[in-house]
Structure 1
């Protein structure tokens, strides 16, 4: 990670006076995007990008009542309590190792991965990568508190889904997802219309197989964006970035949590696919570029979802993934 000068920590400190959302429900993507830029060797561009994004930031929300070990269940899934939840995790992370806090709360939060359009778990995945890859500084621990707090505040579970015939590979399973008929509405409205998904991850119990399948899912969802991203250029990004966030968190989690994490990640990726996929894919061919060249184009474009999908594409690291990032650049509105 290109962060020898502490630029990422400076950016995170700058961002922690802002709330996790804006305009009532839209997510503040800046913490995730600046982490991605630093991770991809572009720390020197972090503050310039942040200056462009800054007008979208809103003030940190007001607190209501402290979250405690006794009352946390009543506060779970209440977006009005975002500041309370962030404060709770700030206190927890000051008292205990961050891996212990994550291991305790991951199974509590995992069933509600779908809240906030999956952005909370994505933010946590970026925070965990930073902590695993570098110094456990105060801004990086605070960033984990913000991610976990946002997740708890937007915790949203799914009703029981009807299992459909599955498929052998992740790519085939995503192709087997049936797009919902009515795709008008916001994320919570569309999510409520998802009633059935193909079986793909439910039988996995071995942790190493779960990790392998998560990688397969991230690759398949990233590749699929190149041919299906025109269905909804922004929201379909999350079919890849949400499971990748879970994959990034696995090394910090007990192995017993890996298989449940795969199942939640599959459901999220498949649900997003059902909610936003077009009726048909279209062929897409992209120029042969290096990962560094793709990052350069994503940074010049500036859109936060483009940056995050490019970051995931570099994790996958093949031509199909780079094509997906380039497709996102073509489809998305630049940040200006």
Structure 2
């Protein structure tokens, strides 16, 4: 009997350790995933365009296919690559992270420049495939998954850099959890955004009460504004996160002047704030990081569009992306 009780005590102890480990993994994954907010919001803002023009019955299946491809991108390619880099070449992580930060700054600045009319996207000369919806859907899904691979690489690199020193399997579990959490959050949000119009139309047409129909009409009216706001928030988040990554990276690599200067200015500007000083200081630092990200991105636009993109297209033999 004593042996059985000892065994039960051991099982209970193991269960407690396992539960604590799961909690630790989820907690660390949430913290690491939060660091990748800019890229994740951008992913959510970009994806709805891939279902534009399709029958409503195909919207959720297309989103599911893209989400499945995104998860495979992360779990099969990016998580193992991240673990390999962390184990065998940890010094590469920061330069890769800064490269991703440059990409975020470039993307954010290009959106700002396009909105202000400073740059214009070339029109695509791709043949209209509306007479073959299945082929068009296949092309759209493949294009979305390719775009997602770049954004997912940024997300996983940012998450990898945010994970504190830990064992290999714990690191693997945290990265895998980040991959699942980010994918579910991004594409769950995309599914809600895409189907909100349909829900609003249904409520407006079939609601039994005047208030229900009014809510439906309100949803339909507000969704374009929600999408526009999402694009603005996504752009701001990209510039903030990208700028912060570059500034933090340069500080880590031995050039801390600008990083320290921004924090010193924020500290001085909020010195007299009595309540909420920490929040005000954080907001000011984030704003300055975003301004730096925008300035860097504007510098990178001609480099990216005139040099890197043409070279990349020649290497991959690709036509300009829509």
Is the TM value for this pair above 0.5? Answer: no
Higher Rg:
2
With normalisation by structure 2, the TM-score equals: 0.27
With normalisation by structure 1, the TM-score equals: 0.27
